[in-house]
Amino acid sequence: MTNRSILVAMSVAAALLASPLTAEAGSLGKAEIAKLFPGQFEAKVKGYRVSFSGSSGGALAGQAYGQKDKGRWYMKGTTLCVVWSKWTKGKAHCGQISRQGGWYVANSSEGEVLKFRRTDLAQN
């Protein structure tokens, strides 16, 4: 996979995450999201797999198909915001997160756009 393909996939995911999300009764709150960090994660974004780690202080480090990037996460109200240096070109993208099975999922009016899960904890 080329650098351009990875950048396009991550940009699409970030743009979709930034779109208006459908509020669900199961949406996670600020405290619940903050408890996810620190941790190791795997994300599925439009068919692409991305591995990343997040610190409790907000640092992110990601890898996809041999390409690496650094960024940060933070809370804006009850939404999770992420910024990647390369993959989102330094632009913040925020969205509501809900839990579905072992996955944390962001949904837009068009349906599921992003899902991620912990990889450093035993999965059911």
List b or e across 12-27, with b for residues whose CB sees 16 or more CB atoms inside 10 angstroms. ebbebbbeebeeeeeb
Q: Is the pLDDT of residue 99 over 50?
A: yes
11 or 27, higher pLDDT = 27
The pLDDT tens digits for 27-47 are: 888 999 889 999 999 998 778
Portion of the chain with pLDDT greater than 70, in percent: 72
Angle, CA of 27, 69 and 1, to the nearest 5°: 100
Task: For the chain, list the strands marked E by DSSP.
Answer: 39-45, 48-54, 59-64, 67-76, 79-84, 93-95, 98-100, 103-108, 111-118
Q: Is the pLDDT of residue 5 over 80?
A: no
3 or 96, higher pLDDT = 96
